[in-house]
Amino acid sequence: MTSEVENKPVFCTESAKELVKELRASFATGKTKSYEWRLTQLNAMVKMMEEKEPQIVAALHDDLSKPELESSIYEIAMLKNSCRLAVKNMKHWMMPEKAKTSLVTFPSSAEIVSEPLGVVLVISTWNYPFLLSLDPIVGAIAAGNAIVLKPSEIAPATSLLLARLVAEYLDSSCIKVVEGAVPETAALLEQKWDKILYTGNGRVARIVMAAAAKHLTPVVMELGGKCPVIVDSDINLQVATRRIIAGKWGCNNGQACISPDYIITMKDYAQKLIDSFKYELERFYGKNPLESKDLSRIVNSNHFARLSKLLDEDKVSSKIVHGGERDKENLKITPTILLDVPRDSLIMNEEIFGPLLPVFLVDKVEDSFDVINSGTKPLAAYLFTNKKKLKEKFVATVSAGGLVINDTTVHLAEPTLPFGGVGDSGMGAYHGKFSFDAFSHKKAVLYRGFACDAFVRYPPYTRGKLGLLRALFDGSILGIIRALLGWSKA
């Protein structure tokens, strides 16, 4: 062990315990509940992005070779919008919502009050390490919580930058970053949190939820799955192809939870589709995509090996119809298309999370629904068609976190839509007001007065009271009168 390693303080269970204790004390002061505090933090986040954009872009490039445009738009601009939306709407979101009351408890009034859950943990991931760390935090701040962020160690430059920027711009007594890997995450998970939002894979999600279960901590799980794209024949093929490419290779080179994972199309249409892909891919990334600056690299050698394994499987390697070139040293794989892969191949059963696009063939487009429903529920599903009935059947039959018709991935940018999965792709949702709600407790409040105390509730329990109770519950004024007069069934 070198002295540099020994000098670095170890973040263990004790440290995690102290951290939570400190944040609970901060939360107890009521500081995070004030509108002013929340506003200050969100405005500071916007300022941070305005002042530090070059450093953020550089860190994302270090970690992922992410093209500047992707970093500026899909990470920074998205986050800025998220902050601005929260700043604009927060006052309204914080207001209690009136609730209707009925004859059963007349006279009374009721409301639903949003209150912060308390001290929350956000565990983030490596593919959009900036956005997926801070976007949940926007919601947690807007809802008035104290927060710990655990960024992913697989994107170390961004993790380090986040730790520095949060300390510099946000209130460190209430918002903290803990860097590290499995041991640090495990130490954090032993503590009691008031909510955990985890973004990542199903295997670790089970560990997070099991840890949360010990403390009855509610969770939001943003996971993944195999997001299918059904391509029908009577469409604007050029637009469809471009949108699929943008959603696949344009989103961190396929390493995104909502990237199109695989295509389903008809046997008769496949060649036309593939030709269109080849044409557009060359326009986007040139004849030599290994050298294109517009594609992220594969994040690390583990994932490179994983993706190589998918390509090298016997029944799959012969199905490559485009791309397939690899540069192990620079962690690059070119946009790769495979045609007519077997249903039971690895590439058709594991989430790909990379630049490989299998095309699965069916006889008719309606058969795609069974293919999709035979797998676990994905985070997103896409359909390109002009047929109204097919769109309706798709929406009614396919269960996924989100659906997009005639485009891919863009629903993520829509803050009025809840972003989250179902089944294996996750539970809970966030974005826009859904983020505020995810980190709030919706407290039911009922106001009663002392007048009109309903004697029917109290003992002694008589048949007359039973009759009157029936009438009250039925909401029937006539029934009440009859009961009072002793005419109704008891």
Active site residue 222: yes
Verify binding: residue 283, other proteins, rule CB under 8 A: no
E strand map for 171-301: 175-177, 195-199, 219-222, 228-231, 262-266
**346 vs 466, which CB is nearer to other proteins?**
466
Residue 204 within binding range of other proteins, rule CB under 8 A: no
Query: For other proteins, which residue of 21, 91, 214, 328 counts as binding (CB under 8 A)?
Result: 214
Q: Which residue among 1, 287, 449, 485 contacts other proteins (CB under 8 A)?
A: 449
Catalytic residue among 222, 227, 280, 351: 222
Nearest of 141, 79, 101 to residue 413 by alpha carbon:
79
> Which residue in the set 24, 84, 322, 448 belongs to the binding site for other proteins (CB under 8 A)?
448
- Applying CB under 8 A, does 35 fall inside the site for other proteins? no
Closest approach of other proteins to the CB of residue 448, in Å: 4
* Residue where the block lists tokens 């009440």: 480
Among 168, 325, 340, 414, binds other proteins (CB under 8 A): 414
Pairing state of beta strands 262-266 and 228-231?
Answer: parallel
Structure tokens at 47: 């300022």
Q: Which stretch binds other proteins (CB under 8 A): 295-303, 310-318, 327-335, 448-456?
A: 448-456
Contact 158, 130 (CB under 8 A): yes
Min. distance of Cβ 301 from other proteins in angstroms? 29
Rounded Cα gap, residues 338 and 347, in angstroms: 10
Which of 32, 381, 465, 488 is in the footprint of other proteins by CB under 8 A? 465
Cβ-count burial of 210 within 10 angstroms (0-12 exposed, 13-18 middle, 19+ buried)? exposed
Among residues 384, 381, 385, 415, the alpha carbon closest in space to that of 398 is found at 381
- Contact between 350 and other proteins by CB under 8 A: the answer reads no
Point out which span in 248-256, 323-331, 385-393, 467-475 binds other proteins (CB under 8 A): 467-475
* Binding pattern for the stretch 86-115 against other proteins, x by CB under 8 A and - elsewhere: ---------------xx-xx--x-x--x-x
Cβ distance to other proteins smaller for residue 269 or 353: 353
Chosen residue from 30, 107, 286, 486 binding other proteins by CB under 8 A: 30
Q: How far is the CB of 99 from other proteins (least distance, A)?
A: 8
Phi-psi region of 363 (alpha: psi -120 to 50; beta: other; left: phi over 0): alpha
Burial readout 91-124 (b: 16 or more C-beta within 10 A, e: otherwise): eebbeeeeeeeeeeeeeeebeeebebbbbbbbbb
Residue 389 near other proteins by CB under 8 A: no
The two most distant CA atoms of the chain are separated, in Å, by 91
How many residues touch other proteins under the rule CB under 8 A: the total is: 63
Tally of CB atoms within 10 A around 6:
8
Nearest to 330 by CA among 366, 304, 310: 304
Residue 182 binds other proteins (CB under 8 A): no
Do 53 and 137 contact (CB within 8 A), yes or no?
Answer: no
Query: Is 12 annotated in the active site?
Result: no
**Near other proteins by CB under 8 A: residue from 21, 91, 206, 283:** 206
Catalytic residue among 174, 184, 257, 351, which? 257
The CA distance from 439 to 222, in Å, is: 14
CA angle at 210 for the pair 209 and 215, rounded to the nearest 5°: 90
DSSP 8-state class, residue 336: E
Query: Which positions from 139 through 168 interact with other proteins, judged by CB under 8 A?
Result: none
Token look-up 């943990």 returns 121
Please provide residue 249's backbone torsions phi and psi, each rounded to the nearest 5 degrees.
-80, -20
Residues in 221-260 that interact with other proteins by CB under 8 A = 221, 223
Query: Any idea which residues carry the catalytic annotation?
Result: 222, 257
Binding residues for other proteins, per CB under 8 A?
28, 30, 33, 101-102, 104-105, 108, 110, 113, 115, 118, 202, 205-206, 209-210, 212-214, 216, 221, 223, 373, 395-396, 399, 407, 410-411, 413-414, 416-418, 422-424, 426-428, 441, 443-450, 453, 457-462, 465-466, 469-470, 473-474
